[in-house]
Amino acid sequence: MFKLERRPTPSKAMVVLTPVLAVVLTMIAGGILFAILGKNPFEAIRIIFWDPLFNETVASYTRPQLLIKAAPLITIALGLSFGYRANIWNIGAEGQFIMGAVTGGAVGLAFYPTESVMIFPLMVLAGAMGGFFWAMIPAFLKIKFNANEILVSLMLVYVAINFLSAMVTGPLRSPVGMNFPVSRNFNEYPSAYNGELIANTGLHMGVLVTLAAIIVAYILLKHHIFGFQVRAAGQSPRAAKFSGVNPNITVAICLGISGGLAGMAGLFEVTGPAGKLSTNFPLGYGFTAIIVAFLGRLNPIGIMLAGLLMALTYIGGELAQFQLSVPAASVQVFQGMLLFFMLAVDILVNFRVRIAKKEVA
Amino acid sequence: MTALLSLSGLTKAYPGVIANDNVSFDIGPGEIHALLGENGAGKSTLVKMIYGLVRPDSGTMMLHGEPYAPPEPRAARASGVAMVFQHFSLFDALTVAENIALGMENAPDTVDLTQRIIEVSGKYGLTIDPFRMVGDLSAGERQRVEIVRCLLQNPKLLIMDEPTSVLTPQEVEVLFHTLRQLSSEGTSILYISHKLDEIKALCEHATILRHGKVVGTCVPKNETAKSMAEMMVGETLRTPKKHYTRHGAALLELHNLWLQSKDPFGTNLKEITFNLHEGEVMGVGGVAGNGQDELMLALSGEELTPAHAIQFKGEDIGNLGPNARRLRGLLTAPEERLGHAAAPDMTLSENAFLTGAMRQGLTRNGIIKAAATRNFARAIIEQFDVRTPGTENVAGSLSGGNLQKFVIGREILQRPEVFVVNQPTWGVDAAAAADIRSAILDLATNGAAVLVISQDLDELMEISDNIAILSEGTLSVPRPAQGITIEQIGLMMGGTEVENV
């Protein structure tokens, strides 16, 4: 019989090893899944994890996609990680992502066709504000009425999706879009376009912002009193309050940071990779980022690696879709398994497995 | 006469430490047996083995002459072994009656159970309302729930880990009466306490543990508290000396402080008024749940009051938060070590930073000075004899007494001008308690004003210049400690409850 025994102190090695273990377990379970679907599991795993990076016939398309997909995931997950450390559960980053794209995009389109270097920064700011204020709704309700931020932020995702539909079928509908529910295309408006900075790398402005966010988040969490207060508030709310941390301000700041970053990520996405606002714009990055945050152990460096890995499963999943004709849902199953295994093996940080001897009474 | 419970050669090792090393002793039927030892001596591990929470690595136990090896507490309870824990195992979100039902085999229905709780609690003077939420109870009231829960099971062996720490002297008397009555009815009691006078008054035999080994046995009646303490710590006990009482200017003034408790079952503070002077130690006595927590929160700045209600050196500070007060020199140490005074999952360095950040200047432009923080933590550990491998161990891994020394040391090293401390020595062994008390007295000798909130009247008598009693949110007029008898105070604070028994 296996027996779990509490470790005297949490294992530092397991903090690093459990995400790796979760990935390995996901590969094994995924392989079994593909085998049941009648596909060669080794080929499927290779297509998902290896080909996007190293198979030269597809890599010219897939490699740039890595940064394009990873940047929004990492940016959103970094924001979420502050709240999650403080036990503030923003589940609605998807909504904040959409609102950032809509408000930032709307500000840009309002200036069309004026060209100015000021327009794009203004859009980024507006995008961040859109996400920020969308996140302030659950923050306000939590502080004022102790409303559960998980439910409020999640429900606001659906409000945001409908708001986006209303905008692209109404005020923001493209005058040249033949009545399709889409906005004007940003790549036809140079001042508002978030193009590749270096061709065929996937590197756009949003990626640079992501890099900056990783560094700032790392410093805040590891070396700044704010990161300390966030951790204290999450681990021991009363001790944090005793030390002078105002819990209401912590709620507002944590939701504000995650909303602002998600909004900014939405703006970079809509003005670059997505190209336009449309009802197809939401891709679920805001939800996938929750997995990225946990897989990265709420640690900025971990989140960066987890974001890249998760981007790989998106790209590899697409490859597997048309090369092996597996269902599109298999990518989501894959990502879901990652979070599932991550949460399952997490217990090894605080416990170790012992093979219990039969004791004679 | 055969022993009720006989332990022989019990050994239990944890990674890095042998908690119990070849422990053997017997408890006779109806015997009240004391288990004595410093924090970390292995008392908790030993009773956990008896209660089926921990399995011994080797050694055997015999109950009623039969081999006894409970695989889990349920089996121990089925064999008639019950335990009152020092740290409460209660669910905050459930009522008293629900908590008690959870700990019982075949719990009766709610109406019967409620009736029995009221009977038992009345019989033993442990007043509790079965319908209250445990989350709203004070530490003292929670302990009553634990005691009543055990008494409802009619145990053959009752293990009590520090049961009296939050009771008034009269309540202790009543409890002792109860325990003696249980003992005369044939129930054995294994009694763990740091209060040596209690052991002397109550227990027939004592087994003394040090570093996991039995280092002696004695008949407490034939010993003095001092001689037992010396056996326990293996060193001569330091008796804190009463400091010279010359009081200077008023440092902390409370003017007609009213505070509505945030807790619906808490106690509102009413018209609290007192002055605390340079060099003064004022003791605030009273039974837990009479406004101690609220007074602490109001003084620490966790709850804000009208600015004028609290004055520090003439400045209105009632509306200032904890850090603004720390910067001025008003430092506090709350009762609950884990989760309030310290964050259990954070390292000692981080816990040093928790309250030291501002006054010790441990940040520069918001960046934490790692080396300075570690040095501060190390200074606390060294000067207050905190036994721990180092500054990077988490606070939760320390024993209660060591963590308390850390928490008190953390504030004292920041040189407070006014220091407010709640239950400074609760659950702390005699040697550590003596250290903490003398540190508090040194602080006052050097000119600081100290407010000690405690349920331990011996402690208040020993260190206070003035004593006031907090009762139902109202503070009595402070009186000089000299000339007050412990009986007088006890009657003032809890008299009515006890008189009903």
What confidence tens digit (pLDDT) does each residue in A71-96 have? Answer: 999 999 999 999 999 999 999 999 99
B372–A contact, CB cutoff 8 A: no
> In which domain, by residue range, is A255 found?
67-288
C-alpha–C-alpha distance, residues A143 and A150, integer Å: 13
Residue A80 within any structural domain of the chain: yes
The pLDDT of residue B494 is above 60? no
**Count of CA atoms in the C-beta half-sphere (13 A) of B417:** 16
**Count of CA atoms in the C-beta half-sphere (13 A) of B131:** 2
Q: What is the domain count for chain A?
A: 1
Catalogue all structural domains in chain B, each as residue range(s) with its CATH number: 5-233 (3.40.50.300), 250-499 (3.40.50.300)
- Confidence (pLDDT) at A66: 92
Buried b / exposed e along A216-253 (16+ C-beta atoms within 10 A): ebbebbebbbbbbbbbbbbbbbbbbbbbbbebeebbbb
Subunit contact A239:B343, Cβ cutoff 8 A = yes
The pLDDT of residue B100 is above 90? no
Q: Which ipTM was obtained for this model?
A: 0.84
Share of chain A above pLDDT 90, in %: 60
Subunit contact A223:B300, Cβ cutoff 8 A = no
B323–A contact, CB cutoff 8 A: yes
The pLDDT of residue A360 is above 70? no
Residue A258 within any structural domain of the chain: yes
Q: How far is A236 from chain B (nearest CA, A)?
A: 5
What residues form DSSP beta bridges with B191? B34, B160
Backbone angles phi, psi at B214, to 5 degrees: -75, 120
For the segment B182-200, what is each residue's pLDDT rounded down to a tens digit? 888 888 999 987 677 788 8
C-alpha–C-alpha distance, residues B96 and A94, integer Å: 43
pTM of the model: 0.74
Residue A250 within any structural domain of the chain: yes
Residue A192 within any structural domain of the chain: yes
Q: A124-133, B263-272, B489-498: which has the minimum mean pLDDT?
A: B489-498
Q: A201-215, A270-284, B481-495: which has the minimum mean pLDDT?
A: B481-495
Structure tokens at B115: 């009736």
User: A177-183 long-range CB contacts below 8 Å, 24 or more apart?
Assistant: A180/A278, A181/A278, A181/A279, A182/A276, A182/A277, A182/A278, A183/A105, A183/A109, A183/A276, A183/A277, A183/A278
- Confidence (pLDDT) at B500: 32
Residues 2-41 of chain A with CB under 8 A from chain B are 8-10
Q: A145-154, A201-210, B131-140, B483-492: which has the minimum mean pLDDT?
A: B483-492
- CB-closest option in B340, B355, B393 to A238: B340
Residue whose C-alpha is closest to residue B343's, from A361, A134, A85, A351: A85
C-alpha–C-alpha distance, residues A151 and A243, integer Å: 30
pLDDT band of A288, cuts 50, 70, 90 = very high
For the segment B263-310, what is each residue's pLDDT rounded down to a tens digit? 766 788 999 999 999 999 999 987 677 888 999 999 999 999 999 999
Contact yes or no for A198/A184 (Cβ under 8 A):
no
Residues 39-98 of chain B with CB under 8 A from chain A are 55, 67, 69, 71
Grouping H, G, I as helix, E, B as strand and the rest as coil, residue B3 is coil
Subunit contact B67:A361, Cβ cutoff 8 A = yes
Tell me the Cα Rg of chain A. Answer: 22
Sign of CA dihedral B262, B265, B271, B274: negative
Residues 206-235 of chain A with CB under 8 A from chain B are 219, 223-226, 228, 231-232, 235
